[in-house]
Structure 1
Amino acid sequence: MASDHNPVAVERAEWKKRQMKERMKQLLTVSSPIFMLLLWEVLSRTAVLDPRFFPPPTAILETFWNLAASGELLTHIGVSLYRIFGGFLLGVIPGVIIGLLMGLYSPIRHFVQPIVMAIMPIPTLALLPIIIILFGIGDLSKVVTIAGSVFFPVVINTAAGVMNIDPIHMDLAKNYGADSKDYFLKIAFPGALPVMLEGIQMGQAIALLTIVAAEMMGSVSGIGFLIWTSYKAFLLQEMYVGLILISFFGYLFSLLLRGLQRKILRWR
Structure 2
Amino acid sequence: MTQSGKLAQDPVRVERAEWKRQQTKARLQQLLTVVSPVFLLVLWEVLSRTGVMDIRFFPPPTAILHTFWELLVSGAIAEHVGVSLYRIALGFLAGVIPGIIIGLMMGLFTPIRHFVSPLVMALMPIPTLALLPIIIILFGIGDLSKVITIAGSVFFPVVINTAAGVLNIDKIYLDVANNYGASKSQFFFKIALPGALPVMLEGIQMGQAIALLTIVAAEMMGATSGIGYLIWTSYKAFLLQNMFVGLIMISFFGYLFSLLLRGLQKKLLPWR
Inter-partner Cα distance in structure 1 for 2:187 and 2:141: 42
Q: Name the SS for the 2:125 alignment partner.
A: coil
Write out aligned runs for 1:50-61 (5 A): 50-61=54-65
| Structure 1 stretches of 4+ moved >4 Å | none
Q: In structure 1, what is the equivalent of residue 205 of structure 2? A: 201
Deviates more, 1:173-182 or 1:37-46: 173-182
| Residue of structure 1 aligned with 2:133, choices 116, 129, 147 | 129
- Are 2:88 and 1:84 aligned? yes
Q: How many residues align?
A: 268
Output the amino acid matched with 1:261: Q
Inter-partner Cα distance in structure 1 for 2:60 and 2:25: 33
Inter-partner Cα distance in structure 2 for 1:219 and 1:158: 33
Inter-partner Cα distance in structure 1 for 2:171 and 2:15: 40
- Are 2:236 and 1:232 aligned? yes
* Deviation readout 1:124-158 (Å, 9 max, x if unpaired): 00111111122111001101100000000000000
Inter-partner Cα distance in structure 2 for 1:88 and 1:58: 33
* Deviation readout 1:181-230 (Å, 9 max, x if unpaired): 22221111000000000000000000000000000000000000000000
| Residue of structure 1 aligned with 2:52, choices 48, 72, 79 | 48
Output the amino acid matched with 2:186: D
Q: In structure 1, what is the equivalent of residue 170 of structure 2? A: 166
Q: Name the SS for the 1:267 alignment partner.
A: coil
Inter-partner Cα distance in structure 2 for 1:136 and 1:82: 17
Give me the CA root mean square deviation. Answer: 1.1
Q: Tell me how far 1:53 sits from its aligned partner.
A: 0.2
For structure 2, the residue ranges without an aligned partner over 5 or more in a row are none
- Are 2:42 and 1:38 aligned? yes
- Are 2:86 and 1:72 aligned? no
Output the amino acid matched with 1:212: V
Output the amino acid matched with 2:25: K
Q: In structure 2, what is the equivalent of residue 113 of structure 1? A: 117
Inter-partner Cα distance in structure 2 for 1:214 and 1:109: 31
TM-score by length of 1: 0.98
Inter-partner Cα distance in structure 2 for 1:22 and 1:102: 40
Deviates more, 1:169-178 or 1:134-143: 169-178
Inter-partner Cα distance in structure 2 for 1:18 and 1:165: 32
Write out aligned runs for 1:136-147 (5 A): 136-147=140-151
Q: In structure 2, what is the equivalent of residue 178 of structure 1? A: 182
Q: Tell me how far 1:75 sits from its aligned partner.
A: 0.5
Q: In structure 2, what is the equivalent of residue 254 of structure 1? A: 258
For structure 1, the residue ranges without an aligned partner over 5 or more in a row are none
Output the amino acid matched with 1:155: V
